[in-house]
Every structure is written in C-alpha cells, then in structure tokens.
Amino acid sequence: MKLYRTLLIASLTLAAAQIRIPAAATRPSQHTFAIGTNDFLLDGERFQIRCGEIHAARVPREYWRHRLQMAKAMGLNTVCAYLFWNQIEPQSGKFDWSGQADVAEFCRIAQEEKLWVILRPGPYSCAEWEMGGLPWWLLKYDDIKLRTRDPRFLDPARRYLKEVGRVLGPLQVTRGGPIIMVQVENEYGFLGKDVEYMGQLRQALIDSGFNVPLFECNPAGQLRNAFRPDLFPVVNFGSDPAGGFKALRRVLPQGPLMCGEFYPGWFDTWGSPHHTGNTPRYLGDLEYMLKNDESFSIYMAHGGTTFGLWAGADRPFKPDTSSYDYDAPISEAGWPTEKFFQTRQLFAQYLLPGESIPEPPAKNPVISINPVEFTECAPIFANLGKAVSSKSPLTMEQYDQGHGCIVYRTTVPAGQAATLEVAAVHDFGFVFLDGKEIGVMDRRKNGFKIELPPRAQPATLDILVEAMGRVNFGEEVQDRKGIHGPVKLGTDELSDWKAFSLPLDKKMLGHLHFAPAKNSGPAFWRATVKIESPGDTFLDLRSWGKGVVWINGHCLGRYWNIGPTQTAYVPAPWLKRGKNEIVILDLLDPEKPVTAGLPQPILNELHPEKDFARVHRPTVTLTLNTAKPVLTASFPAGTATQEVHFDAPARGRYFCLESLNAHDGKPYAAIGELDVLDAAGQPLSHEGWTVAYVDSEEREREDGTAENAIDGQTANFWHTQWGSAQPDHPHRLVIDLGKSQTVSGFRYVPRQGGEDVGGRIKDYRIYVGDALIQR
C-alpha cells in the first residue's frame, strides 16, 4: 500500500509538474488544473467538477452555443464530450473535422461560455454510436482483434490519436484552452484485462501532445480490470453513489472521487418502451455527491439526436433509436425540462466561491408544418447502380461499403417449394422473387430461413439487406454487415451473385430518378414544402414503415413504425425560407405517404402489432417437466454479481433459469445480466444469442424486456409483469445459445439499484439441454 500511494502521488505530481510548465502553448496558460491528494485543483483551489455530457455530433453545430449555454444555466461548470473516430476518419487515412465533427470549435464555444471540457477521444467510445465509434474499415481484415494490441488495430488507433493531439492539443488548459482531462479508451474493464493495451493508448495520447491528467472510466465491478496507477480511475454508476465510491476507493485509496457517468435516464432501442429516469433518486444521489465533495458527470446532460446512420445497436442486437433524448435534463430539442430546473436549483446551493449560474437562453422558435403528401417516388429496384459480381455473397465491408443497404441478386432454378437459408443476415433481409416480396430475414431472432414457393422456370432472387447500426458494446462490435454466406436453397449452395451497393449517402441520393408514385415496394419518396419562417419541428412518421429520412439533404436519422420514437427532430437551421425538400426511404410500404411538422416529439408510442416479425417472440413450447435441473440453489440478497459453477459441466443449446421465489416475497423476478460459462469457465460470446422463451415481461409501464438480461448492460434489466398483471413464480427465462454448448456454470447480476427494488431472485433452478424448447 505505501509503495502504491508513493507511485500514484509520484505519477500525478509528475503530471501536475508537467501542467505548470506550459509546452509550446498557442497562448500562455492563465489557469492550472491538477489532481491533488484529496481534491481536483483549479489554480491550486479545490474544484468540484459538476459536469454533464454533450456530444457535438448529436447537436446541430448551429445550436452548439445554445446547448452549452443551457448546460451553464443548469449549473454545470464542465462539459464532457466523446469523439467518434469513425466520424473523424470516415476513410482510412482521411481525416475530416468539418461540420458536425468540428470538435475544436465546440471546445472554443464551451470556453467562451465559461465551461471546462473533459475530452473522451476513444479510440473506442461506446455511446450507442455506430460500432462504438470504431471505423468500419477496420473490419476489412477478416480476423482483426479490435480493442487489442493487434497492430492492425493499434497502428491506425495511434495515427488517429496523433491527429486528435494535433487538432485538440492546443485547446488544453496547459495551452490556454478549456480541456482539463482526457480519457483513455472507455470502460475497457468490461472487455479485457490487458494493462499493456491501456498503457500503449496512454502513451499514444502523451506522444500526441496531451499533458493534462489522463484517466479511465469503468463501472464499479470492472475497476480492477486492466487497472494502471498512472491512469486516474473514475467510476460509472446510475445510482447508489456510496456503493460506487466504496468500490472506487479500493483502487484509489487517496485522491478526489469522481463518477464518470451518472445516468439521469437511459437510451432507447426500437421496439422497447421509452426510458425515463427515477428523478427523485437522481436528485438525491446528486445532492449526496455534492455534499460529500465528490465530482460527477451527468450522462447525458443533453442527449440530442443521432443524426445520419450513426445510431448503434445494443448487444446481442437491439438497434438504438435515432432520438437520443435519454430523458436528459435538457431535452432532444434543447428545451429545459422539469428535471433541468430541479438540477439548477440544487446546484445553486453548492456553488464554489466566485461561481454563479446565468439565466437559461431563450427557447428556439418551434413551428408546425401542415400535412404534406408525397407524390413522387424512386423505387429501389429501379435505381440500382453498378453491380459487383462474386461467386459467393460477401459482406458489405468486403464490397468496400460502410453503411446503408445492399441488394444481393442471383438466379434460382425452376423447382419445388424449398427453404432458402442464409448463415446470417446483418441486419434485415427483405427477400424478393421476380420482384415480389416473399418475406423478411430478421437478425433480432436469428430468423434466416424463408420458404420459397414452387417455380415453373428459373427466377430472379433479390435479397435487399438493410444494415442498421453496428453493435457498439462488447465483442459484438465486430459486426460485419450484409450477408454472411453461404446461402442455400434446400441443400444446394447458391452462387454467381451480383451485389448492388446502396450507401444512402449524398452522392447516391443525387442520382435517384423520381417518378409519379405508384405502389412501389421499397422506395425513396420525395415531397417539397414551403416554409415562411423556419423553426424547430418534429416530422411525424407514424404513417410510414421503416427506413431513413432526409430534409434538404440533411439525414435526420432512421424511423420505424414499431416505435417508441415516432418523430424525427428537424432543427430550424436545416430548413430554408421557401421550398424545402423531404426525402423518405421506406423499405416497407407507407400506410399513407404523408408527413407533417409537429410542435412536440413523440418518444413513447409502441406498435408491436406493426412489427414485420408479427410476434415479438415465436410461439414455442417449454418442456421442463421431463427435464432434470442441473442445479437447485439460492442467490444471496443484494446487488453483488454471483458466479455459480456446476458440479459437472452440462451440454445443451438452451439455458433456462427458473425463479421459485424472490427475496422480497413478491411475485416478481428480474435479472440485470446473465453470462453463461463455457467448459473452461469463461463467459460465452453473446453473438447469435436470442431469448427463446420467457413466461412474463413488463413492456407497458417500463422496459422489462427479457433481452435486457443478455445485452451486457447492468443498468437495465428483465422484469416480469407488474403493470396490468402480476403473474406469480415460477418464472422462466430461456436463452437460445444458437447451438449446443458445454456449460460449466453461469454469472448472474441481480437487478441493480437500492435495497427497495423488487425482483431479486432467491431460490432458483437451472436447466441446460437441447430439448427444453419445442418449436
């Protein structure tokens, strides 16, 4: 311990020393920032960081100042911002800091608004952003190991960080700028334990000119993984600050305590209820941290919108909505919510000497737009560009395409009805035979089989694949899009494919041929609308199916009629006085090709009945009565992760946890996270996992969806119904591992949160087998 403390203080004093000796700063530094023995020190004075997260990429640049003024008016003294490598280096070796990627400008405005900046450049960022911020072109290497010391990953990562240093280095406090701290990677403890990997990234940031304190963030349970004394640790949590900081003190016996991500709400995924936070608890925990001189960063203070095709997906595959409202204190359109005013009021009681809180800026004007009928459309199959031929279908990346859609075409012989099966489709495969839609292949439930009808003569088979965002968390970020071959018809492998890339970028949109609309199948629709005085508005997309929407060439994001989001935020600066062009790609068929501008967003309207996967989960029969449990045992009370090993390994495709009762004696069961351990006791990858069966899940009053138990996030959870019904135990959750596996045990993370939360399972049984589920 004594050695450790000397090491930590030594490295931090060194950093502090570095801080005081400005390098070739662009401007003499007027301020100093350091990590002291007990406190953060700004100009040598105690500094409590009241920080909030805002992503420049998720706010129209014309509104950066407005949102930063809102942050200041909420009582924050610092903003925290991720960088997204894939946005800054869209093509290998080509950096683009223009437009929404101009983070240097964002930082300068933050400084002008008297806010300090904490920078989180990655290279991996997570953040419900496409591939967690990693560039898709890394996936051109078939066997690359992302987020490791694989040189095919680390070399471009270093090159990127060098570029970040070139552009943002001059904005460090040491050189007169607002940047006080820089994060290395993001929650790496969730993925690995390679201390050297973190060391290499740390060094890369130092070599690229960063001399402010470098830190790392992890949830409480992962703080020890890959811990380095020369990286200041912060802990991420959504509640129970006392517990979080207790865990942090185990790796940081001395020094200021900081929560790197404190969640006021949460993000939404398509098909699941909109998330809203527990505000009284949020305010209580904030006050607790303020009172105890602990620092924090509210994730998100303002979520904004994930414009374009940048929205990621939670694992195993739960695509994120484009709205990133996050139930944050500052709403998606930058409006002050009740939570904003409550936070502002609270912070006003804990200001540091010399600090004050300005009035919030005026709300930006909001308009409505009368309903607009779309009369022109450009069918996808009439707008296919040049084809690329290949014997077998390749993934999108192998065709050098990063995002959007792709059509795979081949000819199938005349013959009997037969099963068309693809190894995997990322993410949705709309199947057409001679232009007639036959069905949809759906990654959410590993549904990659479709029955093809009998064919009198050879027919053209088209599989239109829509790639949604790449998974942004866990190993699953290795998310290659398109078709993962082979493709079989019956037992015959289909070959000689033509692929038509549809990158949905500006260039492609500019080449579409629009014609008077008629029933069109998957198509782009176009309309123009006259606007007298532009204002913020929300495009109503409830009568459309599934796709992407643009206004005046700006891609507003994805939409999907299953919800929960039913509108797309349109920032006024992207509208023009006079004619405005709206283009909507609909991969299904609109109920009515009409939209309008609403003065309010719709963030919480679910329509499971409109889901082309008609049923949320295929009807199966659970046969436990003939099965023998592998284990009957009890979980202790509390929130601690339980790792359970069986006396002898079991084998099977299905893993079933059956709750017999709960610690609070109530009829509910809940699970924060489940991992299944392989023969060597290591967690199996969740790739290809689905929920095969669940007897009950709350999906009205909150998002208690069963998939929450296998998505890697401990902040959300599966919860049995408690709203319109309260079915009693036994409750069963069955995971389909995708194929038969040897299982030696499992890891159970109870529902997190305070003592009073329900659903913590007490007695339970485990079943493993191939015959638990009859389809």
Residues with catalytic roles: 187, 261
Kindly state the smallest distance separating residue 686's Cβ from ligand GLA, in Å: 16
Cis peptide before 123, with omega less than 30 degrees from 0?
yes
Pick the binder of ligand GLA from 35, 103, 126, 248 (CB under 6 A): 126
Nearer to ligand GLA, 78 or 716 (CB): 716
768 part of the interface to ligand GLA, by CB under 6 A? no
Give the C-alpha separation, 363 to 334, whole Å: 8
Kindly state the smallest distance separating residue 301's Cβ from ligand GLA, in Å: 13
| Bridge-based pairing state of the strands 50-54 and 295-302 | parallel
86 part of the interface to ligand GLA, by CB under 6 A? no
Which stretch of DSSP H or E encloses residue 748? strand 731-749
511-521 burial code (b ≥16 CB/10 A, e <16): ebebeebeebb
Task: Build a one-symbol-per-residue string for 529-558: x at contacts with ligand GLA by CB under 6 A, - elsewhere.
Answer: ------------------------------
Nearer to ligand GLA, 328 or 394 (CB): 328
- Looking at residues 422 to 451 of the shown chain, list those that interact with ligand GLA (rule: CB under 6 A): none
Nearer to ligand GLA, 245 or 267 (CB): 267
Both tokens assigned to 186: 């993001």
Only segment of 122-130, 196-204, 224-232, 654-662 that touches ligand GLA (CB under 6 A): 122-130
267 part of the interface to ligand GLA, by CB under 6 A? yes
Nearer to ligand GLA, 187 or 332 (CB): 187
81 part of the interface to ligand GLA, by CB under 6 A? no
Task: Build a one-symbol-per-residue string for 476-495: x at contacts with ligand GLA by CB under 6 A, - elsewhere.
Answer: --------------------
User: 438 by DSSP, 3-state: which?
Assistant: strand
Number of residues that bind ligand GLA (CB under 6 A): 8
Q: How many angstroms separate the Cα of 417 from the Cα of each of 432, 438, 440, 450, 695? A: 15, 12, 17, 11, 35
Cα-Cα-Cα-Cα dihedral of 765, 768, 774, 775, to 10°? Answer: 110
Kindly state the smallest distance separating residue 236's Cβ from ligand GLA, in Å: 5
240 part of the interface to ligand GLA, by CB under 6 A? no
| Bridge-based pairing state of the strands 33-35 and 40-42 | antiparallel
Give the C-alpha separation, 10 to 4, whole Å: 10
Rg of the chain over all Cα atoms, to the nearest angstrom: 26
> In this structure, what DSSP letter does residue 246 have?
H
> In this structure, what DSSP letter does residue 365 have?
P
Nearer to ligand GLA, 217 or 549 (CB): 217
Kindly state the smallest distance separating residue 261's Cβ from ligand GLA, in Å: 5
Only segment of 120-128, 251-259, 452-460, 723-731 that touches ligand GLA (CB under 6 A): 120-128
Task: Build a one-symbol-per-residue string for 289-328: x at contacts with ligand GLA by CB under 6 A, - elsewhere.
Answer: ----------------------------------------
Only segment of 125-133, 197-205, 442-450, 476-484 that touches ligand GLA (CB under 6 A): 125-133
CA dihedral for 768, 770, 774, 775, sign (positive or negative): positive
Give the C-alpha separation, 394 to 108, whole Å: 44
- Say if CB 640 and CB 748 are below 8 A apart: no
Pick the binder of ligand GLA from 236, 305, 478, 566 (CB under 6 A): 236
Give the C-alpha separation, 42 to 134, whole Å: 33
Task: Build a one-symbol-per-residue string for 575-614: x at contacts with ligand GLA by CB under 6 A, - elsewhere.
Answer: ----------------------------------------
- Say if CB 581 and CB 736 are below 8 A apart: no
Both tokens assigned to 85: 């490598």
Kindly state the smallest distance separating residue 186's Cβ from ligand GLA, in Å: 5
User: How far does Cα 515 stand from its chain's mean position?
Assistant: 37
Give the C-alpha separation, 321 to 306, whole Å: 8
- Looking at residues 244 to 263 of the shown chain, list those that interact with ligand GLA (rule: CB under 6 A): 261
Residue 106 CB: number of other CB atoms within 10 A? 25
127 part of the interface to ligand GLA, by CB under 6 A? yes
97 part of the interface to ligand GLA, by CB under 6 A? no
Cis peptide before 564, with omega less than 30 degrees from 0?
yes
Kindly state the smallest distance separating residue 79's Cβ from ligand GLA, in Å: 15
Only segment of 121-129, 348-356, 433-441, 477-485 that touches ligand GLA (CB under 6 A): 121-129
Q: How many angstroms separate the Cα of 349 from the Cα of each of 39, 240, 291, 536? A: 19, 22, 10, 33
- Looking at residues 162 to 191 of the shown chain, list those that interact with ligand GLA (rule: CB under 6 A): 186-187
Residue 765 CB: number of other CB atoms within 10 A? 19
130 part of the interface to ligand GLA, by CB under 6 A? no
Pick the binder of ligand GLA from 113, 128, 216, 736 (CB under 6 A): 128
Q: What is the contact surface with ligand GLA in residues (CB under 6 A)?
A: 126-128, 186-187, 236, 261, 267
